[in-house]
Amino acid sequence: MRQVSVIGLLAAALIAGGGGVSGRTAPFTRADLRWLGRVTFGVDSQIVGSYRKLGREKFLDAQLHPPKDDPGGLHAAIAALTISQKGADARVFEIRQENQRINALGSDEEKQKARMALNQAANLAVYETARRHLMRAIDSPWQLREEMTWFWMNHFSVFSGKGNVRYTLADYEEQAVRPHALGKFRDLVLATATSPAMLEYLDNAQSAANRINENYARELMELHTLGVSGGPSGSRYTQQDVQELARVLTGLGLAATPQPLKLGPQLAPLYVRQGLFEFNPSRHDRNTKTVLGEKIAGKGMDEVETAVTLLCRQPATARFISAKLATYFVADDPPPALVDRMARTFEKTDGDIAAVLRVMFLDKEFLAALADDAGGHRERATKFKDPMTFVVSSVRLAYEDKALTNYHPLVGWLQQLGEPLYGRVTPDGYPLGEAAWTSSGQMVRRFEIARAIGSGNAGLFNNEDNSPGTAAGFPMLTSRFYYDAIEPSLGPRTRAALGKSNSQQEWNTVLLASPDWMER
């Protein structure tokens, strides 16, 4: 169940920002449906209602500048999760103590039992992080922030199965990524660079002046900011730049104990501690470095901020990030002119993500493509849903009026479709193009998921232990909202197939499994 009135929230945000509300109810077109399919994880009646009330630009401006907190009911549900009760530092220190206790146990049977309990707690932390992510994707009225949180979590991907990342994952998403999802790109990069999850995942926590690990420095340049050297972004950094950046990053790591590190009078002023994150100047290379032709004096933690700012202000970074955003939201092969306009905005605004998105979503060429299939824009007008968007958009449409009580089915579906949250082993994130998600096996699984959702047998209203919960029945997708907003966009084959359905459940399945529904 959507927790609050979307129209009321969006209107309040606009009034607070001086935007006002026109009160006009405009006609809803196929282009509107497609545009909303890009800005949100999927339409429902409240999103469409607010869009028709506010108009495109005001709706977008409200989405680009959401309030900090989740609305009441969603906020309360998230606050009740175990991961909301304590921070990553407390969790990791407790785990370290528990491991010491287990190692001191007398029998192998006791050790095995204790380790199983520890493993279950870790699995719960990862599951609850995924549940929180899905709750917001499905229920939050601030859909664009949740889409951008998914996008950046994929861009700055970490794998929950490595080391203690499973215990720091919840804080990584909540404190490093989501607060900056629509803010300045430099702040986002700096937040991830000082997050325990990233520092452990890409091995920088082990990097020191006398044993430098280049792994994170390389990915920071290649995957997070500049793009592949010599690639389409125009980046031209060298192996020497990677090595110099790795020297800048030495000393960034994780605290070993709850107590601050004790250092001598020369190094103590350079020590930085925030929760589990620690900058240890005794592990840092304090000599001068040269990155991208710029000399960076050995000043400790300030070097990291200087280097991140340098990387984020490169034209290659503006092009690389703009192209990736356009690939996710617009088309697998986005128009070069659109990417150029986005990149210029990125540079002009010092990496203002909201400003870049506004240029992209209101671009005349993009809007024309959405509005006109017959005018030669068909290829650019479509964007195949990745598994996350397919699953979330289907549930948003099917169960708008019912509150989910069990998120295990959704987590399982994403696993089966090859895009589990926090499950990408390599740091490059999941592919954004259609080719990765259109195999015959993928289509069979999507049909099975569509049938589970459409028939009401998905287990989404069971209890968390998967015991039977309140019977919710199957969704009634043949609603007035469907005929007003979705039916006009369907092709003749989908309409014909729907017309042959023998029951509401079958009709639901055909719609959710149709080629039209697979596209945003």
DSSP string, 419-459: --TT--SSTT----SGGGG-SHHHHHHHHHHHHHHHHT-S-
CB 486 within 8 A of CB 393: no
Distances (CA, A) of 486 to 38, 52, 277, 446, 481: 15, 14, 48, 20, 7
Distances (CA, A) of 296 to 177, 212, 218: 27, 17, 18
Which is it for the CA torsion 107, 109, 112, 117, positive or negative?
negative
State the pTM of this model.
0.93
pLDDT at 9: 56
Torsion of CA 420, 421, 427, 431, to 10 degrees: 60
pLDDT at 402: 87
Report the chain's C-alpha Rg in angstroms: 24
Three-state SS for 352?
strand
pLDDT at 375: 47
Q: Cα–Cα distance between 264 and 496 in angstroms, integer? A: 78
pLDDT at 184: 98
Neighbours of 261 (CB within 10 A): 16
Which is it for the CA torsion 32, 38, 43, 46, positive or negative?
negative
Give me the count of residues in the chain: 520
Where would I find the beta strands (DSSP E) of 119-220?
Answer: none
Q: Cα–Cα distance between 191 and 61 in angstroms, integer? A: 25
DSSP 8-class letter at 384: B
pLDDT at 369: 86
Buried b vs exposed e over 345-364: b needs ≥16 C-beta within 10 Å? bbbebebbbbbbbbbbbebe
Strand partners, 184: 352
Q: Cα–Cα distance between 391 and 396 in angstroms, integer? A: 9
Which of 157, 84, 83 shows the shortest CA–CA distance to 123? Answer: 83
pLDDT at 471: 73
pLDDT at 152: 98
Tokens 């390389």: give the residue.
Answer: 218
DSSP 8-class letter at 218: H
pLDDT at 15: 44
Distances (CA, A) of 334 to 31, 185, 366, 369: 18, 21, 9, 11
Residue ranges, the chain, pLDDT below 70: 1-26, 372-380
